[in-house]
Structure 1
Amino acid sequence: MSARYLEDLSVGESWEGRPIPITEDAVIAFASVYDPQPMHVDPVAAAQGRFGGIIASGWHVAALVMRDTVETSPFGDMPLLGLQLDELRWEEAVRPGDVLRARREVLEVNRSRTKPDRGVVRIGVTVRNQHGRTAMRYTNLVQIFARPTPEGES
Protein backbone atom coordinates (compact mmCIF):
# COMPACT_ATOMS: atom_id res chain seq x y z
CA MET A 1 0.00 0.00 0.00
CA SER A 2 1.36 3.43 -0.83
CA ALA A 3 1.67 6.20 1.73
CA ARG A 4 -1.12 8.61 2.54
CA TYR A 5 0.11 12.14 3.08
CA LEU A 6 -1.22 15.10 5.01
CA GLU A 7 -3.04 16.37 1.91
CA ASP A 8 -4.82 13.04 1.50
CA LEU A 9 -6.66 13.35 4.82
CA SER A 10 -9.84 15.23 5.55
CA VAL A 11 -11.74 16.09 8.71
CA GLY A 12 -14.57 13.63 9.27
CA GLU A 13 -12.86 10.73 7.51
CA SER A 14 -13.21 7.59 9.61
CA TRP A 15 -12.35 3.92 9.52
CA GLU A 16 -12.69 0.84 11.69
CA GLY A 17 -10.05 -1.65 12.64
CA ARG A 18 -10.28 -5.39 12.80
CA PRO A 19 -12.05 -7.35 15.54
CA ILE A 20 -9.84 -7.65 18.61
CA PRO A 21 -10.74 -10.79 20.60
CA ILE A 22 -9.89 -10.78 24.30
CA THR A 23 -8.77 -14.04 25.90
CA GLU A 24 -8.24 -14.77 29.58
CA ASP A 25 -4.76 -16.19 28.93
CA ALA A 26 -3.68 -12.99 27.17
CA VAL A 27 -5.23 -10.76 29.87
CA ILE A 28 -3.36 -12.61 32.61
CA ALA A 29 -0.09 -12.78 30.65
CA PHE A 30 -0.06 -9.04 29.93
CA ALA A 31 -1.07 -8.05 33.44
CA SER A 32 1.43 -10.43 35.04
CA VAL A 33 4.19 -8.37 33.47
CA TYR A 34 2.75 -4.85 33.31
CA ASP A 35 -0.22 -4.45 35.71
CA PRO A 36 -0.21 -7.28 38.28
CA GLN A 37 -3.34 -6.35 40.20
CA PRO A 38 -5.66 -9.13 41.45
CA MET A 39 -8.56 -8.25 39.09
CA HIS A 40 -6.20 -8.82 36.14
CA VAL A 41 -4.17 -11.85 37.25
CA ASP A 42 -6.00 -13.86 39.92
CA PRO A 43 -9.31 -15.46 38.85
CA VAL A 44 -10.29 -16.38 42.43
CA ALA A 45 -9.60 -12.92 43.87
CA ALA A 46 -11.16 -11.28 40.80
CA ALA A 47 -14.36 -13.32 41.22
CA GLN A 48 -14.69 -11.94 44.76
CA GLY A 49 -13.86 -8.37 43.74
CA ARG A 50 -16.03 -5.54 42.48
CA PHE A 51 -15.89 -6.73 38.85
CA GLY A 52 -16.98 -10.30 39.60
CA GLY A 53 -14.20 -11.79 37.47
CA ILE A 54 -11.02 -11.17 35.52
CA ILE A 55 -10.87 -7.93 33.54
CA ALA A 56 -8.24 -6.67 31.13
CA SER A 57 -5.85 -3.95 32.17
CA GLY A 58 -6.67 -0.70 30.40
CA TRP A 59 -3.05 -0.58 29.27
CA HIS A 60 -3.51 -3.98 27.63
CA VAL A 61 -6.53 -2.67 25.73
CA ALA A 62 -4.56 0.42 24.67
CA ALA A 63 -1.66 -1.75 23.45
CA LEU A 64 -4.02 -3.98 21.44
CA VAL A 65 -5.60 -0.92 19.80
CA MET A 66 -2.14 0.41 18.93
CA ARG A 67 -1.26 -2.90 17.31
CA ASP A 68 -4.54 -2.78 15.37
CA THR A 69 -3.61 0.69 14.11
CA VAL A 70 -0.24 -0.55 12.86
CA GLU A 71 -1.66 -3.73 11.30
CA THR A 72 -4.57 -2.06 9.52
CA SER A 73 -2.26 0.71 8.18
CA PRO A 74 -4.82 3.51 7.78
CA PHE A 75 -2.03 5.75 6.51
CA GLY A 76 -0.52 3.18 4.19
CA ASP A 77 3.24 2.99 4.34
CA MET A 78 3.48 6.37 6.07
CA PRO A 79 5.36 6.06 9.36
CA LEU A 80 3.55 7.84 12.19
CA LEU A 81 5.00 9.63 15.16
CA GLY A 82 2.69 9.93 18.13
CA LEU A 83 3.00 13.34 19.74
CA GLN A 84 0.25 13.43 22.31
CA LEU A 85 -2.58 11.43 23.81
CA ASP A 86 -5.49 13.23 25.48
CA GLU A 87 -8.70 12.40 27.27
CA LEU A 88 -7.93 8.71 27.73
CA ARG A 89 -10.94 7.11 29.36
CA TRP A 90 -11.67 3.52 30.23
CA GLU A 91 -15.46 3.54 30.32
CA GLU A 92 -16.36 -0.13 30.65
CA ALA A 93 -14.47 -3.15 31.91
CA VAL A 94 -13.12 -5.42 29.18
CA ARG A 95 -13.54 -9.10 29.94
CA PRO A 96 -12.30 -12.36 28.44
CA GLY A 97 -14.66 -13.27 25.61
CA ASP A 98 -15.21 -9.65 24.58
CA VAL A 99 -14.45 -8.67 21.00
CA LEU A 100 -13.40 -5.06 20.60
CA ARG A 101 -13.33 -2.86 17.52
CA ALA A 102 -11.65 0.53 17.27
CA ARG A 103 -13.14 3.34 15.21
CA ARG A 104 -10.90 6.25 14.31
CA GLU A 105 -12.00 9.64 13.02
CA VAL A 106 -9.90 12.53 11.74
CA LEU A 107 -10.77 15.56 13.86
CA GLU A 108 -8.15 18.08 12.65
CA VAL A 109 -5.52 18.31 9.93
CA ASN A 110 -2.95 21.11 10.22
CA ARG A 111 0.25 21.79 8.30
CA SER A 112 3.17 22.97 10.41
CA ARG A 113 4.01 26.66 9.98
CA THR A 114 7.68 26.09 10.81
CA LYS A 115 8.19 22.74 9.04
CA PRO A 116 6.00 22.76 5.91
CA ASP A 117 7.11 19.23 4.95
CA ARG A 118 4.85 17.86 7.70
CA GLY A 119 1.82 18.48 9.82
CA VAL A 120 -0.27 17.12 12.64
CA VAL A 121 -3.48 15.15 12.60
CA ARG A 122 -5.77 14.84 15.63
CA ILE A 123 -7.61 11.54 15.64
CA GLY A 124 -10.50 10.54 17.87
CA VAL A 125 -10.47 6.86 18.81
CA THR A 126 -13.48 5.01 20.22
CA VAL A 127 -13.21 1.34 21.17
CA ARG A 128 -16.48 -0.57 21.50
CA ASN A 129 -17.23 -4.11 22.57
CA GLN A 130 -19.44 -6.61 20.76
CA HIS A 131 -22.51 -5.06 22.41
CA GLY A 132 -21.71 -1.60 21.01
CA ARG A 133 -20.76 -0.22 24.43
CA THR A 134 -17.75 2.05 24.64
CA ALA A 135 -14.88 0.42 26.51
CA MET A 136 -12.20 3.06 25.86
CA ARG A 137 -11.81 6.39 24.11
CA TYR A 138 -9.08 8.97 23.57
CA THR A 139 -7.75 11.55 21.17
CA ASN A 140 -4.35 11.18 19.60
CA LEU A 141 -2.13 13.76 17.94
CA VAL A 142 0.20 12.30 15.31
CA GLN A 143 2.76 13.84 13.01
CA ILE A 144 2.48 12.96 9.34
CA PHE A 145 4.49 14.08 6.33
CA ALA A 146 3.16 16.28 3.56
CA ARG A 147 3.40 15.12 -0.03
CA PRO A 148 6.97 15.65 -1.28
CA THR A 149 7.35 18.36 -3.88
CA PRO A 150 9.06 17.41 -7.16
CA GLU A 151 12.69 18.45 -7.53
CA GLY A 152 13.05 22.09 -8.45
CA GLU A 153 9.66 23.18 -7.06
CA SER A 154 9.35 25.21 -3.93
Structure 2
Amino acid sequence: MTALNYDDLRAGENRTVGSFSLTETEIQSFARQYDPQPFHTDPSAAESTLFGGLVASGWQTACRCMDLLVRNFFDDLGGAVGLHMTDLQWPTPVRPGDTITVTFEILEKEPIPDRAGSGYLDVRITGTNQDDEDVIRWTVRSLVPE
Protein backbone atom coordinates (compact mmCIF):
# COMPACT_ATOMS: atom_id res chain seq x y z
CA MET A 1 0.00 0.00 0.00
CA THR A 2 1.29 3.48 -0.85
CA ALA A 3 1.22 6.49 1.47
CA LEU A 4 -0.16 8.77 -1.26
CA ASN A 5 -2.26 8.38 -4.34
CA TYR A 6 -2.89 10.58 -7.34
CA ASP A 7 -6.18 11.89 -5.92
CA ASP A 8 -4.35 13.21 -2.81
CA LEU A 9 -2.31 15.67 -4.90
CA ARG A 10 -3.32 19.24 -5.77
CA ALA A 11 -2.11 21.71 -8.37
CA GLY A 12 -0.24 24.52 -6.63
CA GLU A 13 1.03 22.20 -3.91
CA ASN A 14 4.66 22.68 -2.83
CA ARG A 15 6.81 20.13 -1.00
CA THR A 16 10.37 19.89 0.21
CA VAL A 17 11.86 16.45 -0.35
CA GLY A 18 15.18 16.88 1.44
CA SER A 19 18.69 18.28 1.28
CA PHE A 20 22.17 17.08 0.35
CA SER A 21 25.74 18.33 0.32
CA LEU A 22 28.63 17.36 -1.93
CA THR A 23 32.24 17.06 -0.85
CA GLU A 24 35.20 17.84 -3.07
CA THR A 25 35.94 14.11 -3.26
CA GLU A 26 32.37 13.27 -4.33
CA ILE A 27 32.43 15.97 -7.00
CA GLN A 28 35.74 14.76 -8.42
CA SER A 29 34.76 11.08 -8.31
CA PHE A 30 31.49 11.62 -10.18
CA ALA A 31 33.18 13.88 -12.73
CA ARG A 32 36.01 11.49 -13.45
CA GLN A 33 33.47 8.87 -14.42
CA TYR A 34 30.74 10.93 -16.10
CA ASP A 35 31.80 14.53 -16.84
CA PRO A 36 35.62 14.77 -16.84
CA GLN A 37 36.04 18.49 -17.38
CA PRO A 38 38.84 20.20 -15.43
CA PHE A 39 36.53 22.49 -13.44
CA HIS A 40 34.91 19.31 -12.03
CA THR A 41 38.03 17.15 -11.56
CA ASP A 42 41.05 19.35 -10.78
CA PRO A 43 40.86 22.10 -8.13
CA SER A 44 44.07 23.77 -9.37
CA ALA A 45 42.99 23.83 -13.02
CA ALA A 46 39.47 24.92 -11.96
CA GLU A 47 40.89 28.13 -10.45
CA SER A 48 41.73 29.48 -13.92
CA THR A 49 38.26 28.74 -15.37
CA LEU A 50 35.22 30.99 -15.43
CA PHE A 51 34.10 29.30 -12.18
CA GLY A 52 37.24 30.28 -10.26
CA GLY A 53 37.28 26.93 -8.47
CA LEU A 54 35.96 23.41 -8.38
CA VAL A 55 32.23 22.98 -9.14
CA ALA A 56 29.94 19.96 -9.33
CA SER A 57 28.70 18.64 -12.63
CA GLY A 58 25.14 19.72 -13.27
CA TRP A 59 24.39 16.08 -13.99
CA GLN A 60 25.55 15.13 -10.51
CA THR A 61 23.28 17.79 -9.04
CA ALA A 62 20.38 16.48 -11.13
CA CYS A 63 21.06 12.88 -10.01
CA ARG A 64 21.14 13.81 -6.35
CA CYS A 65 17.89 15.80 -6.72
CA MET A 66 16.27 12.86 -8.47
CA ASP A 67 17.33 10.52 -5.69
CA LEU A 68 15.52 12.68 -3.13
CA LEU A 69 12.45 13.02 -5.35
CA VAL A 70 12.16 9.26 -5.76
CA ARG A 71 12.86 8.35 -2.14
CA ASN A 72 10.72 11.08 -0.58
CA PHE A 73 7.86 11.53 -3.03
CA PHE A 74 7.56 9.16 -6.00
CA ASP A 75 8.04 6.07 -3.80
CA ASP A 76 5.11 7.29 -1.66
CA LEU A 77 3.00 7.25 -4.82
CA GLY A 78 4.08 3.75 -5.73
CA GLY A 79 6.27 5.19 -8.47
CA ALA A 80 5.85 7.53 -11.40
CA VAL A 81 6.97 7.32 -15.01
CA GLY A 82 8.81 10.36 -16.34
CA LEU A 83 7.57 11.17 -19.83
CA HIS A 84 9.59 14.27 -20.64
CA MET A 85 11.34 17.20 -19.07
CA THR A 86 11.77 20.78 -20.19
CA ASP A 87 13.58 23.93 -19.17
CA LEU A 88 16.54 22.28 -17.44
CA GLN A 89 18.71 25.07 -16.06
CA TRP A 90 21.78 25.33 -13.82
CA PRO A 91 21.78 29.05 -12.93
CA THR A 92 24.35 28.88 -10.10
CA PRO A 93 27.24 26.40 -9.76
CA VAL A 94 27.34 23.95 -6.86
CA ARG A 95 30.59 24.13 -4.92
CA PRO A 96 32.07 21.68 -2.41
CA GLY A 97 30.26 21.98 0.91
CA ASP A 98 27.14 23.66 -0.47
CA THR A 99 23.87 22.36 0.97
CA ILE A 100 21.14 21.97 -1.63
CA THR A 101 17.48 21.81 -0.62
CA VAL A 102 15.15 20.23 -3.16
CA THR A 103 11.55 21.34 -3.54
CA PHE A 104 8.84 20.85 -6.09
CA GLU A 105 5.57 22.46 -7.10
CA ILE A 106 2.75 20.62 -8.80
CA LEU A 107 1.89 22.88 -11.72
CA GLU A 108 -0.92 20.86 -13.23
CA LYS A 109 -2.83 17.60 -12.84
CA GLU A 110 -4.52 15.90 -15.75
CA PRO A 111 -6.55 12.81 -14.83
CA ILE A 112 -6.86 9.95 -17.30
CA PRO A 113 -10.64 9.64 -17.79
CA ASP A 114 -10.78 5.86 -18.24
CA ARG A 115 -8.22 5.09 -15.48
CA ALA A 116 -9.52 6.22 -12.08
CA GLY A 117 -6.78 7.11 -9.63
CA SER A 118 -4.13 7.78 -12.25
CA GLY A 119 -3.08 10.70 -14.39
CA TYR A 120 -0.38 13.10 -15.43
CA LEU A 121 1.51 15.52 -13.21
CA ASP A 122 3.46 18.52 -14.41
CA VAL A 123 5.98 19.33 -11.69
CA ARG A 124 8.64 22.05 -11.37
CA ILE A 125 11.67 20.87 -9.38
CA THR A 126 14.09 23.36 -7.84
CA GLY A 127 17.35 22.92 -5.96
CA THR A 128 18.39 25.89 -3.84
CA ASN A 129 21.68 26.40 -2.02
CA GLN A 130 22.26 27.68 1.51
CA ASP A 131 22.36 31.26 0.16
CA ASP A 132 18.84 30.85 -1.30
CA GLU A 133 20.19 30.75 -4.87
CA ASP A 134 18.66 28.33 -7.35
CA VAL A 135 21.33 25.89 -8.53
CA ILE A 136 19.06 23.70 -10.67
CA ARG A 137 15.49 23.76 -11.92
CA TRP A 138 13.44 21.85 -14.44
CA THR A 139 9.90 20.83 -15.26
CA VAL A 140 8.86 17.22 -15.72
CA ARG A 141 5.69 15.55 -16.92
CA SER A 142 5.08 12.23 -15.20
CA LEU A 143 2.48 9.54 -15.40
CA VAL A 144 1.23 8.37 -12.02
CA PRO A 145 -0.31 4.92 -12.43
CA GLU A 146 -3.13 3.71 -10.21
TM-score, length basis structure 2: 0.92
User: Which residue number corresponds to residue 149 of structure 1?
Assistant: none
Match of 2:115, SS state, is coil
1:77: Cα distance to partner? 4.7
Unaligned ranges ≥5, structure 2 = none
User: Which residue number corresponds to residue 133 of structure 1?
Assistant: 133
Contact 1:109 1:119 in 2 (8 A): yes
1:74: Cα distance to partner? 5.3
User: Which residue number corresponds to residue 21 of structure 2?
Assistant: 21
Map residues 1-154 of structure 1 onto 2, 5 A cutoff.
2-73=2-73, 76-113=76-113, 115-117=114-116, 118-146=118-146
| In 2: Cα distance, 1:116 partner to 1:70 partner | 23
User: Which residue number corresponds to residue 150 of structure 1?
Assistant: none
| In 2: Cα distance, 1:17 partner to 1:59 partner | 19
Alpha-carbon spacing, 1:63–1:15, altered in 2? closer, same or farther (3 Å):
same
Residues 10-58 of structure 1: CA distance to partner in whole angstroms, max 9, x if unpaired?
Answer: 1011111222111111111111011000000011110121111100000
| In 1: Cα distance, 2:133 partner to 2:4 partner | 31
Unaligned ranges ≥5, structure 1 = 147-154
Looking at CA atoms only, which structure, 1 or 2, has the larger radius of gyration?
1
Paired residue type of 2:63: A
1:116: Cα distance to partner? 2.1
| In 2: Cα distance, 1:79 partner to 1:18 partner | 18
| In 1: Cα distance, 2:78 partner to 2:58 partner | 27
